[in-house]
Structure 1
């Protein structure tokens, strides 16, 4: 054993010593586990261990002064049996929401860098309301065999990107797969994707999220059916794959099954792009749960109002403070982790214009985060795509800070092509320009036609079928009474609103 890894003391039956302060999160070594965390204003920090599924911890280990350098706390714990272990942190300090402080020594927080998360192991399973500690970290073993898998070299001009939802794509019986609604089920649809000519799949969020939105039970529709945050745009753990998308209930099921999916897609020449949500988190607004970020450093992780409330440029309750140096690092580390550990080929950034706002929410000309992502050597070959707008009116299609790397979802392509296809006057010339690469949008900064990701429909707004079936949205059964979603769909129902058996109408729609 190396001399610098000798234990210095014993606590709660564990031999411990100061850890590797420059290794964030948890790191598994042959002789133990390194636990490192960041917090700025906490008065004290404790690491707590649980047996799987248990309410009360069996060990509480304080980070005394010798385990702290600046705002980093690090401890190496020897001979940790990780198989039945769940962990979290408890931080004591000031509780003053109006000042942005949310420390609570009785609250167990999930590690913001947890690579494996328990508490939402089965999709849609109602949380145990008797157990306050619903989301906890686990420590994964790195045992997957990648073989000769390597990043694909498909050039951008050959990308045919197919956006899909891992659960929704195969959940229906019409999918004809055995493992419906899972990573494994999606892998069984690869021959179909190949038949379509797809060269990249863009997976809607697969980072761990809470389909209950922090509630102890789901909301109910007007018909009395449970409603979930189905799409997953409310991330709770940036480094952990969604457990509820795995067939196996065993620990590591979600890791191994997702890696297997990536490996199989690569073997058929299909790249994997992840839809990532860094503009906000699943912790919501003032009424939302305290899961991790709020309890570690609420004032740095979020953009706050003067009264301690959350600025809401995302439309989802809070706004992640993306250009804060601490937040920039965790975002970059997350992206690099998914490229190195999961072999993904790129990312589509949800509401990416929030990543171009400063600590007060003001747009900035040269956002450091966007540049750091663009020049990071680990991400040099990764596809990086911006949804170049946000929910507060910042629209940057054609002006998004690209640094020679960023492509954009071209919302103007979508709108102009829809209007051309439905026969609106004056859109033929614009349609031709859009199909030729939108020179009017991208030539000003010499970005070229491949800066434009062209699409007509996506997960937002009408599906392709809806686009030619409805003139108006009818979002009544989801509990929002039609207030959600955009109103400018530029759709055409061919004369009948909704589904119809009229052959003439259906022929027009086709």
Structure 2
């Protein structure tokens, strides 16, 4: 056990002019990360873990703390972050930032990265959650998140900067996201005051567990929707362990203090929710098979740009606030397999819609490969250039 306060309280911690601890961590104090002695200690620790234990990457919780000055203000070029970015031993390891802290500093898209750091894209989580549950005015933001958040991350200099996620260890599981409107943290002992209140969740009409067949079917479809969009978005996808079989924390969105069934993975749910598990497998395989979903491979193909947006009519760059349908199309040309087009259709509206697909060259045709309205997936050649998308569902088409 080491007491940094005992070594030198003034050096190791950020202190107010009155000598109190700045609390940007939410844990009562904050390390003075950019003091030469402290950032050297941090560098030495990371190097040791890489060289001795072969750790190949680090994710930094509340990483914006690492960029604060001794007075608590954010620095333009924090010495620690710059050293981490250019360190010869850490040069090949992954550096991932949770680009905010408990003091209100929010740096998604502006984190001092030197083109080395990836970031948890909190805006991806927030915007997609709101869009997928049908909030008004979210179609434009959803489209931008799906194509790599190019309004946040500069396309050429911040490649692979966006870690896309809808759920993580903090907050609701994916199952709970569509089962609870409110957090239920009473058992944590803080009268339900702990944990975030802005979850952008939707219980589909009934709070918590239910035997209602229609509500349960809707919840499972929304889970499929969320994962389909995640797997079809540019960026690095991340999902919470257990989401693949509908793990639940019973509405607790801050279960760190629960060493029991609330926070454990309940593997018995795997058999019960095998259809969801198989859908996750299917979408992961689909993403791995199609490099076009992961990156720009040729700046477009067949006179289509690399990325384009579409409404129920093709070629729509802007979405009005009332719209709840988003079509995103990727186009590219692989040297070995030729041109490929992928069109992702997402309908967060509560009614079905008639949609027209972009017209392909005469030598190509559309094939439906995903429809979240259905429990199991099967491929189907399209006989016409339009389709019906059911309420609150996602479909994916491949043009070859």
TM-score range, shorter chain: 0.5 to 0.7
Once residues 432 and 307 of structure 1 are traced to their aligned partners in structure 2, the CA distance between those partners, rounded to angstroms, is 48
Match of 1:450 in 2: 160
Match of 1:469 in 2: 179
Match of 2:137 in 1: 426
Q: Which has the higher contact order (CA 8 A, sep 6+)?
A: 2
1:168-216 CA-to-partner distances (Å, cap 9, x unmatched) read xxxxxxxxxxxxxxxxxxxxxxxxxxxxxxxxxxxxxxxxxxxxxxxxx
Q: CA contact under 8 A between 1:438 and 1:449: conserved in structure 2?
A: no
Match of 2:77 in 1: 366
Normalising by the residue count of structure 2, what TM-score does the alignment of the two structures yield? 0.54
Matched, 1:301 2:12: yes
Q: CA contact under 8 A between 2:115 and 2:158: conserved in structure 1?
A: no
Deviation, structure 1 residue 306: 2.7
Matched, 1:411 2:111: no
- The secondary structure found in structure 2 opposite 1:408 is strand
Deviation, structure 1 residue 425: 2.0
Q: CA contact under 8 A between 2:25 and 2:62: conserved in structure 1?
A: yes
Match of 1:482 in 2: 192
Normalising by the residue count of structure 1, what TM-score does the alignment of the two structures yield? 0.42
Once residues 54 and 141 of structure 2 are traced to their aligned partners in structure 1, the CA distance between those partners, rounded to angstroms, is 38
Match of 1:216 in 2: none
Once residues 336 and 409 of structure 1 are traced to their aligned partners in structure 2, the CA distance between those partners, rounded to angstroms, is 23
- The secondary structure found in structure 1 opposite 2:151 is helix
How many residues align structurally? 220
Deviation, structure 1 residue 449: 4.0
Q: Which runs of 5+ in 2 are unaligned?
A: 221-400
Match of 2:202 in 1: 492
Match of 1:33 in 2: none
Match of 2:36 in 1: 325
Q: CA contact under 8 A between 1:439 and 1:449: conserved in structure 2?
A: no
Q: CA contact under 8 A between 1:437 and 1:448: conserved in structure 2?
A: no
1:262-301 alignment runs, 5 A limit: 292-301=3-12
Q: Which runs of 5+ in 1 are unaligned?
A: 1-109, 113-291
Once residues 448 and 334 of structure 1 are traced to their aligned partners in structure 2, the CA distance between those partners, rounded to angstroms, is 27
1:325-356 CA-to-partner distances (Å, cap 9, x unmatched) read 11101111111111111111100000000111
Change (3 A) 1:379 1:366: same
- The secondary structure found in structure 1 opposite 2:16 is coil
Matched, 1:345 2:56: yes
Once residues 489 and 398 of structure 1 are traced to their aligned partners in structure 2, the CA distance between those partners, rounded to angstroms, is 21
Once residues 376 and 316 of structure 1 are traced to their aligned partners in structure 2, the CA distance between those partners, rounded to angstroms, is 29
1:217-256 alignment runs, 5 A limit: none
Once residues 75 and 44 of structure 2 are traced to their aligned partners in structure 1, the CA distance between those partners, rounded to angstroms, is 23
1:125-158 CA-to-partner distances (Å, cap 9, x unmatched) read xxxxxxxxxxxxxxxxxxxxxxxxxxxxxxxxxx
